Chain A
Amino acid sequence: MTSETSTFMLDQARLVVCVGTGGVGKTTTSAALALRAALSGRRVLVLTIDPAKRLANAMGLDNLGNEPQRVNLAAIAPQSRGTLDAMMLDATASFDALIRRTAGEQAGSILNNRVYRVMADHFAGVQEYMALERLFDMHESRRWDLIVLDTPPAQNALDFFTSPQRVSAMFDERIMRWFLPAEADAGLFSRIFNPGVVVLKLLSTIGGDAFIRELSEFFQAVRIVRATFKERGDKVAEILQAASTHLVVIASPDPRRVTEAIEFQDNLARMGKKLSYFVLNRSFHRFRPTDIDALAAIESPMKQRVSDFYANLVALGDRDRAGIARLSGRIEHDRIRLVPVFGQDIHTIDELQHLANFFVKN
């Protein structure tokens, strides 16, 4: 039953979005999910952000690029009909490319505007937004049956889902009007009761006139790309809502992380989004106190050392069993995947495949 459900997700989904806080193995898990689907015969793309260099190498991605690259599966599945492509994301370069594509003659003046430069390099939502931008292109191309998206680490993973709204809010028509030359036919009423006048006055008090001028130029220039931004933002929101889109949260079985993951699910539910799976990574649940008894019968100098160390693993096992129990109390069993801790880093496609096996059998 369990394996059928998971196979179902990887067989039918068009998009799998992996979310989670930093340091839980999100990038590796995304790659393993994508590999699993490719080995079952689908054409898969994994869109990722700055994976560990050795993992990139394992996937055959030594030259990091903003374009999809084919991962060679011949060594592990010579007969496979499926394919795996991987791509890395460069947020600033993608944003510039988008402006060049949509702004026509105005592109140069937008790209050189200092307000734009600061925004493209510094604005916290840009990375998340660009991940979605690239996703849109890739999704529309229909070159792949499944796209697995590894999201940027966010303290609050929800930021990711609201980034299109936040970026398109920046280009809100009402705000832009503040910075555009007053229209001749605007009535006295709308000129007096324009909150923009108050905000502009405040901004020029604290920022000076030059800042307002630059901001004004920026908004006039980006007016052209606004329609595109909004349209694409809306379509991305549609893709994220589609029934063929699955959200997977990656966490660890530490009770603290489990609590965060449950809170995350509840917040998503409030936004009308449903979480398909919980992956609990690097679990120590297999280590049990009684295992140590078996060492008693062994005659070896290592006995004491191994026994001392194993007691530490058992302590972590107790911690993780508590976390797993907490999650099982809230979530149906077949939506949980446990991945045991590995005694190594994942550096090769073989090791990635080994990890991928845990998504189908539990």
Chain B
Amino acid sequence: MTPLLDKKLVFISGKGGVGKTTICAGLARMAAARGKRVLICEIDTDAYMGRLFGDAAIGFAPSVVAPGIWACTLKGDDCMSAFVHRFVPARVADLILRNKVAQVFFDSAPSVMEAVIFDQISTHCANRTPGWDIILIDLPASGHAVTFLNVPKSMVEMVRVGELAAHMERVARLAADPGKSELILVSLPEEMAVNETLELLEKARAKVATPVNRVVVNGVRHPDVTRQDVAELEALAETSQGEPREVLERLAYGARIGAFWREQDAEAVQRLKAAPRLTVTEIPFFFTKKNDTELVRTIAGHLQATMGAP
């Protein structure tokens, strides 16, 4: 298995709300700390990433957000414009892009937006100044990840000749090279999230050429509270009256949550570890809110332990 830091193209996916963007930022910090030049690409979303780097403004053109880290937001419209401008003279390009009917067509035609986004990623890959060592791609929620990763391949199938086909083939080849690319999955220590991660793992391994070897479980809790403690608090509540009873019931309710997390989180991590050929990295849950930059640095430290090996 090629070490993560030797890869060129790293995709990050997971279901909505698992903290994909935060993990992506952590990976960038980790790689930059090892001297890599990193580019983060957010796909088709308004920059939440910016908040994780001291409210940096992130736009279509890559900009520096931290030492050794660049970031950009790849939106369909911007990528389309860059794409069309490459093929036709500027005046014709503007005519096409401004045409209402053409806009509707590009917006709704199958995979067109995804294809032009990939085209932009491919352009960044080939860029020699500053010459990024690693490009991290924060994919849309997992429902669309396999679709998205298959776009270059299906475009090559659909559009067999022409310049678009040549571009897509280049990206498809890079994304399929296990020495250069990989897909990292982000999950939560919850039953549903683990189900979805295992499904995505299976689907991605069956349908996408990009290898999947690593999963990050975000927000693992290890409460030191047991069912026995819950029972003890419940018994105490039984023998009390009025407000003290209410407080004890609330403490028992809290302890029940702790005991549940203790079992649930351990089981979730265990299920992921049982999957074949999968390295599991645990990121602890942070109960007290850190500021975003500090949070990302802490996460980078945890990632370093399992993924930062040279």
Residue positions of A touching B, CB distance < 8 A: 21-24, 52-54, 114-115, 118-119, 121-125, 127, 152-156, 166-167, 169-170, 172, 174-175, 195-196, 198-199, 202, 204-211, 214, 286-288, 290-291, 294-295, 298, 300, 302, 305-306, 308-310, 312-313, 315-316, 319, 341, 343-345
The interface residues of chain A lying within 8 Å CB-to-CB of B188 are 23
Asked if B232 and A22 make an inter-chain contact with CB atoms under 8 angstroms apart, the answer reads: no
A23-B188, A123-B111 as given contacts; A298 in contact with B157, CB under 8 Å: no
Asked if B232 and A198 make an inter-chain contact with CB atoms under 8 angstroms apart, the answer reads: no
A91 CB to closest chain B CB (Å) equals: 10
Q: Does chain A have a CB within 8 A of B258? A: yes
B291 CB to closest chain A CB (Å) equals: 13
Asked if A294 and B248 make an inter-chain contact with CB atoms under 8 angstroms apart, the answer reads: yes
Asked if B84 and A118 make an inter-chain contact with CB atoms under 8 angstroms apart, the answer reads: no
The interface residues of chain B lying within 8 Å CB-to-CB of A312 are 223, 287
Q: Does chain A have a CB within 8 A of B54? A: no
A169-B104, A195-B102 as given contacts; A21 in contact with B251, CB under 8 Å: no
Q: Which of A204, A208, A341 contacts B165 (CB 8 A)?
A: A208
What are 26 inter-chain pairs, A to B, with CB distance below 8 A?
A23-B15, A52-B191, A52-B192, A124-B147, A155-B44, A155-B141, A175-B104, A195-B95, A198-B96, A199-B96, A202-B84, A202-B88, A206-B159, A207-B164, A208-B159, A211-B162, A288-B250, A298-B236, A306-B251, A306-B258, A309-B255, A313-B254, A315-B287, A315-B288, A316-B287, A345-B264
The interface residues of chain A lying within 8 Å CB-to-CB of B159 are 206-208, 210-211
Q: Which of A54, A114, A295 contacts B157 (CB 8 A)?
A: A114
Asked if A211 and B195 make an inter-chain contact with CB atoms under 8 angstroms apart, the answer reads: no
* Distance, CA A121 to CA B92, complexed state (A): 32
The interface residues of chain A lying within 8 Å CB-to-CB of B44 are 155
Q: Which of B16, B111, B114 contacts A21 (CB 8 A)?
A: B16
Q: Does chain A have a CB within 8 A of B154? A: yes
* Distance, CA A132 to CA B141, complexed state (A): 21
Asked if B257 and A155 make an inter-chain contact with CB atoms under 8 angstroms apart, the answer reads: no
B104 CB to closest chain A CB (Å) equals: 5
B126 CB to closest chain A CB (Å) equals: 18
The interface residues of chain A lying within 8 Å CB-to-CB of B193 are 23
The interface residues of chain A lying within 8 Å CB-to-CB of B225 are 302, 305-306, 309
Asked if B92 and A198 make an inter-chain contact with CB atoms under 8 angstroms apart, the answer reads: yes
Interface range on chain B: under 10, 10 to 19, 20 to 34, or 35 or more?
35 or more
Asked if A206 and B111 make an inter-chain contact with CB atoms under 8 angstroms apart, the answer reads: no
Given contacts A23-B193, A121-B147, A288-B250, 11 further A-B contacts (CB under 8 A): A24-B17, A52-B191, A122-B110, A123-B111, A154-B141, A198-B92, A208-B165, A210-B159, A294-B248, A302-B225, A302-B232
A226 CB to closest chain B CB (Å) equals: 13
The interface residues of chain A lying within 8 Å CB-to-CB of B132 are none
Closest to B45 in A: A155
The interface residues of chain A lying within 8 Å CB-to-CB of B107 are 166, 169
* Distance, CA A174 to CA B161, complexed state (A): 27
A195-B101, A199-B102 as given contacts; A153 in contact with B143, CB under 8 Å: yes
Question: Which residues of B from 65 to 116 have beta carbons under 8 Å from A?
Answer: 84, 87-88, 92, 95-96, 99, 101-102, 104-105, 107-111, 114
Question: Which residues of B from 173 to 219 have beta carbons under 8 Å from A?
Answer: 188, 191-193, 195
Interface centre among A21, A300, A343, by most chain B C-beta atoms within 10 angstroms, is A343
The interface residues of chain B lying within 8 Å CB-to-CB of A54 are 191
Q: Does chain A have a CB within 8 A of B272? A: no
The interface residues of chain B lying within 8 Å CB-to-CB of A214 are 158
A23-B16, A123-B111 as given contacts; A205 in contact with B229, CB under 8 Å: no
Asked if B164 and A206 make an inter-chain contact with CB atoms under 8 angstroms apart, the answer reads: yes
Question: Which residues of B from 139 to 168 have beta carbons under 8 Å from A?
Answer: 140-141, 143-144, 147, 150-151, 154, 157-165
* Distance, CA A13 to CA B141, complexed state (A): 31
Closest to B228 in A: A302
A191 CB to closest chain B CB (Å) equals: 16
* Distance, CA A125 to CA B17, complexed state (A): 20
Asked if A153 and B288 make an inter-chain contact with CB atoms under 8 angstroms apart, the answer reads: no
The interface residues of chain A lying within 8 Å CB-to-CB of B143 are 127, 152-153
* Distance, CA A12 to CA B177, complexed state (A): 57
* Distance, CA A248 to CA B76, complexed state (A): 29
Asked if A305 and B289 make an inter-chain contact with CB atoms under 8 angstroms apart, the answer reads: no
* Distance, CA A287 to CA B255, complexed state (A): 11
* Distance, CA A156 to CA B92, complexed state (A): 32
Question: Which residues of B from 9 to 27 have beta carbons under 8 Å from A?
Answer: 15-18
Closest to A156 in B: B45
The interface residues of chain A lying within 8 Å CB-to-CB of B105 are 172, 175, 199
Q: Does chain A have a CB within 8 A of B224? A: yes
The interface residues of chain A lying within 8 Å CB-to-CB of B108 are 125, 166-167, 169-170
Q: Does chain A have a CB within 8 A of B60? A: no
The interface residues of chain A lying within 8 Å CB-to-CB of B141 are 22, 153-155
Q: Which of B18, B84, B244, B255 contacts A306 (CB 8 A)?
A: B255
Q: Which of A23, A118, A125, A290 contacts B158 (CB 8 A)?
A: A118
* Distance, CA A286 to CA B165, complexed state (A): 58
* Distance, CA A214 to CA B161, complexed state (A): 13
Asked if A345 and B191 make an inter-chain contact with CB atoms under 8 angstroms apart, the answer reads: yes
B234 CB to closest chain A CB (Å) equals: 12
Q: Which of B18, B101, B254 contacts A23 (CB 8 A)?
A: B18
A202-B87, A206-B87 as given contacts; A343 in contact with B110, CB under 8 Å: no
A23-B18, A23-B188, A306-B229 as given contacts; A287 in contact with B254, CB under 8 Å: yes
A23-B188, A166-B108, A175-B101 as given contacts; A300 in contact with B288, CB under 8 Å: no
- B13-51 vs A, CB cutoff 8 Å, 1 = contact: the mask equals 001111000000000000000000000000011000000
A21-B16, A175-B105 as given contacts; A294 in contact with B251, CB under 8 Å: yes
A52-B195, A118-B154, A343-B257 as given contacts; A319 in contact with B289, CB under 8 Å: yes
* Distance, CA A308 to CA B254, complexed state (A): 11
A205-B162, A210-B161, A286-B250 as given contacts; A22 in contact with B195, CB under 8 Å: no
